[in-house]
Chains A and B, each alone.
Chain A
Amino acid sequence: MRTPGRQDGDEAELIERSRKGDSEAFGVLVERYQRRVVGVAMAVVHDQDDAIELAQETFIRAYENLSKFESRSSFSTWLYRIAANLAIDFWRREGRHVVLHGEDADAEISKLPTSQGDAFKEVSRSELSARLKQALEELTPEHRAVILLREVEGMSYDEISDVLQCPRGTVMSRLHYARTHLRSILKDVAGS
């Protein structure tokens, strides 16, 4: 991933050409960031088709608002922010999942076992996959986004903080909650 706040000359030129209406230059930027933008959307909505639609919308919004883009943050972070915002809005609009909030979430955490080693050794692959996907669905989009951006997209805490526009401490606490919740679900699968 490119360092936030920095752009190489090539990228700055592509952005400038895109600003002047050069859609082919913009196409190069799309090629460059499409996988990661889809990944960010996927982290929130957890559905590939929706994520691809949202990623397309992200690039269109970005193109339309290139004049507002200032080089204070990196272009990629700016794109990922648009993707995350669109995906969270979409999820809230379309949301139909069971999600743990506030006190429910805290109660859930307090019930968790605090010891044990590799809890997932005994779980079959397909069962584990199915249960993990379901467990991800049960998280809020913010919690799911944080853990998937970290584990799947490999983003640093600072990058996640930039993309989701929340403090680093919030990233850490959401990550802790998401990990603890997923671990508890998988422990249940292992124990059953």
Chain B
Amino acid sequence: MMLGAFEDSELEPNEMQEVAFHLARCESCTGILADYSTLGRNLRSIAPEPMLAGFSSAVVARVDRLPQPVTARIARFIRRQADAVGSGVAWGGAVAAVAVATLVLITPYAEQFANRGTHSTASIARAEHGAVPAANQLATADEPTMADNDSHADISRLESENH
């Protein structure tokens, strides 16, 4: 085992030295070492160079077909858009997509909220109207008021009595 490890330079420095001294005076071990060295060269010479054309693209294609989490798919979509049309436009698109998604998701709640808001405003208006009728009169000075209508009715009644 020491000879193989010596051939591979995998011994400690003192062991390397020890084996080297031994080899200097042992023809048998020198022969074995030479065989190991030749064996290594032969093994390298018969090892085929693998045909790797298209290998990585085949792997990536398989990876793309794997089911992926939604977040990963969105991230990949944005990345590809960025590559295709530039990052500014892609991020603009991404922001727009998020805005649309937000709008779609929030609209029903927004409507509910708005309706609740209208009811509240009407209640407040009703309360104000009842409490401060004078304010209403001031606000609608150009329009006939209840008081005006009553006056007109009285005048009409008097005129008909006179006739």
Give CA–CA (A64, B72) in the complex, Å: 13
List of A residues within 8 angstroms of B57 by Cβ: 27
A86 to chain B, nearest CB (A): 14
Q: Is the CB of B35 within 8 A of A119?
A: yes
Give CA–CA (A129, B44) in the complex, Å: 11
Q: Is the CB of A30 within 8 A of B64?
A: no
Looking at chain B's contact residues, the main secondary structure is helix
Q: Is the CB of A39 within 8 A of B10?
A: no
Q: Is A151 among interface residues, defined by CB-CB distance under 8 A? A: yes
Using a Cβ–Cβ cut-off of 8 Å, how many residues does chain B contribute to the interface with A? 44
Q: Is the CB of A42 within 8 A of B4?
A: no
Q: Is A95 among interface residues, defined by CB-CB distance under 8 A? A: no
Name the interface residues of B1-48: CB closer than 8 Å to any CB of A: 1, 4-5, 8, 10, 27-28, 30-32, 34-36, 38-40, 42-48
Q: Is A34 among interface residues, defined by CB-CB distance under 8 A? A: yes
Q: Is the CB of B75 within 8 A of A179?
A: no
Interface residues of B (CB under 8 A from A): 1, 4-5, 8, 10, 27-28, 30-32, 34-36, 38-40, 42-48, 50-52, 55-60, 62-64, 66, 68-69, 71-73, 75-76, 79
Interface residues of A (CB under 8 A from B): 20-24, 26-27, 30-31, 34-35, 38-39, 42, 48, 51-52, 55-56, 59-60, 63-64, 114-120, 128-129, 132-133, 136, 147-148, 150-152, 156-157, 172-173, 175-176, 179, 182-183, 186-187
